[in-house]
Amino acid sequence: MVHNGLMVIDMHTHSNISDGTDTPAQLVSAAAASGIAVVALCDHDTMDGVAAAQAAGADTGVTVVRGIEMSTQLGDDTVHLLAYGCDPGNEALAQALADVREGRQQRVPRMVAALRAAGVPITVEDVMAQAASCSTLGRPHVADALVALGVVSDRREAFDVWLNHGRPGYVGHLRIDLDRGTSLVHQAGGVCVLAHAWGRGTRSVLTPGVIAWLAEDAGLDGLEVDHNDHLRQERTMLRALAAANDLIVTGGSDYHGTGKVNHALGCHSTSQRSYQAIMALIAERGGCP
């Protein structure tokens, strides 16, 4: 599909298999309706929605790239890693992702207990009712429960008041060391890109020197530059860092359906050149696009 003479490629989207609100098929249908040619499904710590998305893509003409948004850490800080084209049969990666999902699930009762201690009348059952179709539990499902209970008006308020780091309901979860994450992705034939590299407080963590180290020694393949979390000046700086370190530049909407405002499909996109570079690396490494 071509929109305004350009092939639109959105390399960062989410479905209700993690914390989006569209099913994988609905996501792909929405991409088709928006004139998007390629969409990468990058649900958190799981590839469970990819088969359904790719089946819908075969019906609508949208190419669906196999993706994951992995929960990793650098020191004490959370860093999200987009992984493309990983073989779902790779046992080491599958086990690492399963461990992270288990850690996410185990923290829900702790989050509920913390919220109840702060006076919020919420139960684990309330959270699970919001996560019926997902493989990866997350804070957004707690946020949705708070909305359903009338405690807050939307997910953003839930995070700002109750769930962000330092707020009463925040509880951390297991993450994969970032350099181990890149290694697991490569072992599975995939390509790894830092998600929203300078968004959400990570600019002080992912300094130019750290990005250079990740590119040189830890196997990083690319930077997500074009994202709503980055100001125009930051995108310019990140693009220069990518060029200096021979990293692929990507962009994506970080679409979550109604779960995140101002992240419409295709609002940021990836160039055809970068897309082709990613697909070439997946083929070279024996991955599974």
Does the reported pTM lie above 0.75?
A: yes
DSSP 3-state of 190: coil
Domains delineated in the chain = 102-163 (1.10.150.650)
Helix (H) or strand (E) holding 127: helix 124-130
| Dihedral of the alpha carbons of 115, 121, 125, 130, in degrees to the nearest 10 | -80
Per-residue burial over 94-127, b = 16 or more CB atoms within 10 Å of its CB, e = otherwise? bebbeebbebbeebbeebbebbeeeebebeeebb
Residue-by-residue pLDDT tens, the chain, 289 positions: 444 456 999 999 999 999 999 999 999 999 999 999 999 999 999 999 999 999 999 999 999 999 999 999 999 899 999 999 999 999 999 999 999 999 999 999 999 999 999 999 999 999 999 988 899 999 999 999 999 999 999 999 999 999 998 999 999 889 999 999 999 999 999 999 999 999 978 899 999 999 999 999 999 999 999 999 999 999 999 999 999 999 999 999 999 999 888 899 999 999 999 999 999 999 999 999 9
